[in-house]
């Protein structure tokens, strides 16, 4: 058989072109975040297509986070939320059956860099927020709540790093870690205290603006997680279980 000489010839569906047209105006700066987009009827008029078609196009943008509806359901331009993006990335990783080893290795890199940057740039306010989280966490006995607080701590630290690229890159890894930490805590008694100790040292490193120490403690912290994972009898080379993904889907993934 002949090799492929020609591209597939497929006209772009109208609803996609509607979405692209609006997206281009947003990316091009003609529409700023916060700007209102017309009503569906307006778009029908402007694009000269049916309302159903407009609505399908809007769904695409809405799902991509570029536009949103306020409580009155009117459309306006919006900034995609990190949260949503991170959720999608996490889900994709799970569906691609990445292993814990991959996640762990990435966490080692990303969390360490985050901690380093955070230590370099933490303000007094930042440190207060971290302290606050630590205090709250120390008082929690419920494992689930503890894990969520831990997750918050790392997200907070990423915020403190003042590097939004790192912050966003780290987020999916954090989402995948949290449910496993719960599992570890259920089986390894020392996990909680060690966790708190690491956080304490991380805050201390931030306070003294000591990136090297922050990095060091974070690496220890992540290494601890791995040890706990193995003690709990899990293999690093197993793909992440689907059950962890269910936790990622709901609720309001499309809100």
- Backbone torsions φ then ψ of 99, nearest 5 degrees: -90, 165
Tokens of 254: 């499309």
Q: C-beta of 32: minimal distance to a copy of itself in Å?
A: 10
Instruction: Return the range that interacts with DNA (CB under 7 A); candidates 66-74, 93-101, 155-163, 220-228.
Output: 66-74
**What does the per-residue mask of binding to DNA show for 12-51, with x meaning CB under 7 A?**
-xxx-----------------------xxx------xxxx
Determine the Cα–Cα distance for residues 49 and 18; give it in Å rounded to an integer: 9
Binding site for a copy of itself (CB under 8 A): 8, 10, 12, 15-16, 19-20, 23-24, 26-29, 33, 52, 55-56, 59-60, 62-65, 71, 79-80, 82, 85, 88-89, 91-96, 98, 102-103, 105-106, 109-110, 113, 117, 163-166, 168-169, 172-173, 242, 245-246, 248-250, 252-255
Determine the Cα–Cα distance for residues 157 and 83; give it in Å rounded to an integer: 15
Residue 68 bridge partners (DSSP): 76
Q: Name 125's Cβ contacts closer than 8 Å, sequence gap at least 6.
A: none
Q: Name 217's Cβ contacts closer than 8 Å, sequence gap at least 6.
A: 115, 198, 201, 202, 205
Residue 75 contact partner, candidates a copy of itself, DNA, none, CB within 5 to 8 A by sort of partner: DNA
Residue 4 contact partner, candidates a copy of itself, DNA, none, CB within 5 to 8 A by sort of partner: none
Residue 50 contact partner, candidates a copy of itself, DNA, none, CB within 5 to 8 A by sort of partner: DNA
Question: Mind giving me the DSSP string for 117-183?
Answer: HHHHH--HHHHHHHHHHHHHHHT---HHHHHHHHHHHHHHHHHHTT-HHHHHHHHHHHHHHHHHHHH
148 binds DNA (CB under 7 A): no
Q: C-beta of 221: minimal distance to a copy of itself in Å?
A: 17
Residue 41 contact partner, candidates a copy of itself, DNA, none, CB within 5 to 8 A by sort of partner: DNA
Residues lying near DNA in the complex (CB under 7 A) are found at 10, 13-15, 39-41, 48-53, 55-56, 69-75
């Amino acid at each position: 058989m002949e090799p492929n000489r020609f591209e597939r010839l497929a006209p772009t569906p109208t609803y996609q072109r509607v979405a692209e047209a609006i997206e281009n105006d947003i990316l091009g700066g003609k529409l700023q975040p916060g700007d209102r987009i017309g009503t569906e009827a307006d778009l029908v008029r402007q694009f000269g297509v049916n309302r159903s078609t407009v609505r399908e196009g809007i769904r695409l943008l809405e799902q991509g986070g570029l536009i949103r509806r306020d409580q009155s359901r009117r459309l306006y331009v919006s900034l995609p939320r990190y949260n949503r993006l991170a959720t999608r990335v996490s889900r994709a990783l799970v569906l691609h059956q990445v292993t814990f080893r991959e996640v762990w290795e990435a966490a080692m890199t990303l969390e360490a860099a985050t901690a380093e940057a955070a230590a370099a740039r933490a303000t007094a306010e930042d440190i207060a927020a971290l302290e606050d989280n630590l205090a709250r966490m120390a008082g929690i006995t419920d494992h689930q709540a503890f894990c969520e607080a831990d997750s918050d701590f790392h997200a907070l630290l990423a915020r403190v790093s003042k590097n939004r690229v790192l912050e966003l890159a780290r987020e999916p890894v954090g989402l995948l870690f949290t449910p496993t930490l719960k599992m570890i805590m259920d089986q390894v008694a020392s996990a909680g205290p060690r966790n708190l100790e690491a956080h304490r040292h991380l805050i201390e490193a931030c306070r003294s603006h000591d990136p090297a120490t922050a990095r060091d403690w974070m690496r220890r912290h992540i290494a601890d997680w791995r040890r706990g994972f193995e003690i709990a009898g899990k293999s690093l080379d197993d793909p992440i279980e689907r059950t962890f993904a269910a936790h990622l889907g709901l609720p309001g993934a499309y809100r």
